[in-house]
Structure 1
C-alpha cells in the first residue's frame, strides 16, 4: 500500500495574522521581524518578495530593498494563538499529525483512500482551516514528506497540489536543486561549481559520486532528488517548555533596562501559561555577552503560573547570573517542566483579590492583545514597544497596573 502524506503550510503566517488584525495591510508589502539594525526578517509578504526580500535577511538590507513596506515588530502571543487554533482543527480531523513548526504540519492519511479519497479529504480540511481562521493555507499530497513539502511550495500561494504515486521523479526533475529540503546556500554553491542546478541532473548522477562530494548527506540528497524518503510522521505532542529572548540593538550594561526586559518576559510567559492551562516547575534565565559567551541558570520551583511567584524568582536568577559586568547582547527567560493545571489559591500567601486580578488582566489581554495591560515595572526602556499595526488601542498607551505583588 502506498503511503499518503499530507504537508500543510500557512502562507506568510506572521503577515497573514497581522492582516487579520488590520485589513488595511492586505495587498501591500508587509515585513515582520526585529526592527533594530540587528533585526532579521521573520516573514515577508509576497508583495515585498518581489523586491528581493526574504525571511532570514537582515532587516537593514530589507529596508534598502523595499523602503515602502510596512514594518512590524510582531506579536508572538497572537501568532501562538492562531497556530494553536489551526493545530486543534487538524488534530480533530487527521489520524496522525506532526507539527514541524509554528506554521507547518504533516499528516499521515494512509489507508483513508478506501473511505472517501485522500485528496478530497485534504481539500475539505484546507477549506475548514480557511473558513474557521481566515488564514491562507497551502498543501501538497504525495507518497512521502519530501515530495509533499516540495509540492506545497510549488502550490503556493494559497493553493493545493497532488503528486500521484509513481510520478515523483517526473515532478521533481525540472525544479531547481534548491527546492530539495536540506539543500542550503553552501550546498547549492557546491552544486553550481559542479555545473548542476536542476534536480533532473542529480537524478542521473551515480549515488557514489554524491557521497564522494557531500559525504553521508550525499546519499540522502540523491534519494530525495529521486523522490525517495522513508522518514516517518512524528506524532505531535504538547511542548514541555516556553521561552522568550531579546537581542538588543546595542549591547548594554544598563541594569535597569535589563531587569525591565526580564520582568516583561516573565510576565508575558506567565500569561501564556494561564492561557494554555499550564503550570511550570522550572525557570531559567540566559545571558549572552558581547563576546558571545552565553551563560544560564535554572531553578526548580513549586508548580505555579502566578506572576508574583515567577517574576521575583526570575529576577533573582538574573541577579545571580549577571556577574561579569560586561556588555550584554541578549537575555532570555524559559519556563519548563510544564504540566496541565489551573493556578490555585495558596491559603498561606494569596487572596481571592489576587486571583480575581489575574482573571481580569488575562481577560483584557485575551480581548485586546497580550500587551494591552501590564505592570508599571515593565514600562521602562527595556520593554518592547507597545502599539503599532493592528493594536486595538490604535497606538494609545496600555493599561498600567501598580500592584503590590511585584
Structure 2
C-alpha cells in the first residue's frame, strides 16, 4: 500500500508571528534578526526578499540591499508559543506526526483514504490551522517525506500541492537539482560540472556514476531524485532536558581543570542540541563533593544552541556555586526548557562567521564522530589536584 505523507511548513514563521502582534508592519520589508554589525537575518518578509535578502545573511549586507528595511529582534518565547498552538491542532487530528523544527511538521495519514479523501482531509486541516492560529501555512502531500517537502516549497506562499502516487518522478523531473533537500552549493557545482542541472537528468543517470561523482552520498541522492524515500515519520515526543556528568578518578580542587571539563561538556551538549534541532532556555550546573554533598545552580536566558553563549555562562555559574574548601567528586551540566528550532534562528545577534563555523564543525563531527573536532580550551582536562 502506498503511504500518504504530508509536509507542513509555516510560511516566514517569525515574520508571520510578528505581523499578528504588529499588523501595521504588513506589506513592509521586515527583517527578524539583530541590526548590529554582528547581526544576522533570521527571517524576512517576502517584501524584503525582493531586494535579494535571505536568512543567514549578515544584517549589514541586508541594510545595504534595503536601507528602508525594518529590523525586529526575535522573540523565541513568542514563536515557541505559536509553534505549540499549531502542534496541538495537528496532535488532535493526525494519527502520527513528527515535528522537524519549530515551524515544520510531517504527518503520516496512510490508510485514512479508506475513510476520508486524503486531499480533502489535508485541505481541511490546513484551513483549521490558519483559522485557529492566524498563521499562513503551506503543505505538500505525496507518498513520502522528500517529495512532500519539495511540493511544499513549490506551493509557497500559503498553498497546498498534491502529488498523487505514481507521479513522483514526472513531478520532480523538470525541477532544478537544488530543489532536492540537503543538496548544497558544493554538490550543485559538482553536478553542474557533469552536465546535470535538473532532477530528471539526475534520475536517469546511472546510480553508479552519481556515486563516482559524490561518493557514499550519491546513492541516496539518486534515490531522492527518483522519488524514492522510505524514511518514516518519527512520532513526536517532547524532550524536556539533555544532560551529562563526569565523576573524577580522584577528587579535585583544580579549578582550571574543572572549568575546562565544564566547557567540553557544554560543547558536546550544544552539538547534540543542534543535531536534534533543539534550543535551550535554561542551564544548570551540578557539583558533588567528596562527602557526597550535592549542590546545583541554574540560570535562564533567551533560547539558543550556541557554544559561545553557554560557555560564557557556565564558568560564572560554577564559580558562584563552588565552595573552594571542598574537593569535587563529580560535576554535571544540564540544558533544559527545550524547544524545537535550529541554530540559524537561535542567535538573533550572532555573526555570520560564527554560524558558518558551527555548521562546518558540526558537519565534521557528524561525519567523523563527536571527538573529531574540539575547541582548544576544552581539549586538555587533566585531572590533577
Q: For the residues of structure 2 that align with 1:110 and 1:128, how far apart are their CA atoms?
A: 20
Name the structure 2 match of 1:294: none
Q: Is the contact made by 2:11 and 2:137 (CA closer than 8 Å) also made in structure 1?
A: yes
Is 1:125 aligned to residue 125 of structure 2?
yes
Q: Give 1:91's aligned residue.
A: 91
Q: After TM superposition, give the deviation of residue 35 of structure 1 in Å.
A: 2.2
Provide the C-alpha distance between the structure 2 equivalents of 1:51 and 1:184, rounded to a whole number of angstroms.
22
Structure with larger RCO (C-alpha < 8 A, sep 6+): 2
**How far off its partner does 1:240 sit?**
2.3
**Of 286, 292, 299, which aligns to 2:286?**
299
How far, CA to CA, are the matches of 1:131 and 1:283 in structure 2?
A: 36
Does the aligned pair in 1 maintain the 2:297–2:317 contact within 8 Å? no
Residue 195 of structure 1: how far off its partner (Å): 2.3
Deviation string for 1:57-110 (max 9, x for gaps)?
122111111222111111111000000110111011000010000000000000
Q: CA deviation at 1:334?
A: 6.2
Q: Deviations over 1:194-227 (max 9, x none)?
A: 2222111101111001111111110111110110
Pairing 1:149-298 to 2, within 5 Å after superposition: 149-241=149-241, 283-284=283-284, 298=285
Alignment-derived partner of residue 82 in structure 2: 82
Instruction: Indicate the residue corresponding to 1:318 in structure 2.
Output: 316
Matched, 1:65 2:65: yes
Distance 1:319 1:6, change over 3 A: closer
Whether contact under 8 Å (1:43, 1:54) holds in the other structure is yes
Equivalent-residue separation in structure 1 for 2:221 and 2:287 (angstroms): 43
Corresponding residue for residue 138 of structure 1: 138
2:12 is aligned to 12
Contact persistence 2:298–2:317 (CA under 8 A): no
User: Contact 1:283–1:299 at 8 Å: present in 2 too?
Assistant: no
- Describe the superposition over 1:292-328 as per-residue Cα deviations: whole angstroms up to 9, x where unpaired: xxxxxx3279xxxxxx97449x978525479xxxxxx
Helix, strand or coil for the counterpart of 1:126?
Answer: helix
Question: Is the CA contact (8 Å cut-off) linking 1:283 and 1:300 kept in structure 2?
Answer: no
Q: Distance in 1 between matches of 2:104 and 2:6?
A: 11
> Corresponding residue for 1:345?
none
String of CA shifts for 1:131-169, please: whole Å, max 9, x gaps.
001000010000000000000000000010000001001
CA-CA distance at 1:336 after TM superposition: 2.9
Residue 337 of structure 1, CA deviation = 8.8
Of 192-201 and 174-183, the range deviating more from structure 2: 192-201
Q: Match of 1:215, SS? A: helix
- How many residues are aligned here? 272
Aligned to 1:111: 111
Query: Aligned equivalents of 1:11 and 1:334: distance in 2?
Result: 33
Question: Structure 1, unaligned stretches of length 5 or more?
Answer: 244-279, 285-297, 302-307, 323-332, 339-383, 385-406
Partners of 2:39 and 2:58 within 8 A in 1: yes
Give 2:359's aligned residue. none
Please, which runs of 5 or more residues in structure 2 have no aligned partner?
244-280, 289-295, 301-309, 321-332, 339-348, 350-385
CA root-mean-square deviation? 2.7
Residues 95, 70 of structure 1: CA spacing in aligned structure 2 closer, same or farther, 3 A cutoff?
same
Cα distance in 2 between the residues matched to 1:311 and 1:237: 25
Alignment of 1:325-340 (within 5 A): 335-336=335-336
Question: What is the CA–CA distance in structure 2 between the aligned matches of 1:321 and 1:164, rounded to whole Å?
Answer: 60
**Structure 2 CA distance for aligned equivalents of residues 146 and 215 of structure 1:** 21
> How many Å separate the matches in 2 of 1:67 and 1:102?
29
Q: Which residue of 1 aligns with 2:383?
A: none
1:228 Cα shift?
0.4
Q: 1:349 — aligned with what?
A: none
Higher helix share: 2
Residue 286 of structure 2 contacts residue 297 of structure 2 at CA under 8 Å; is this kept in 1? Answer: no
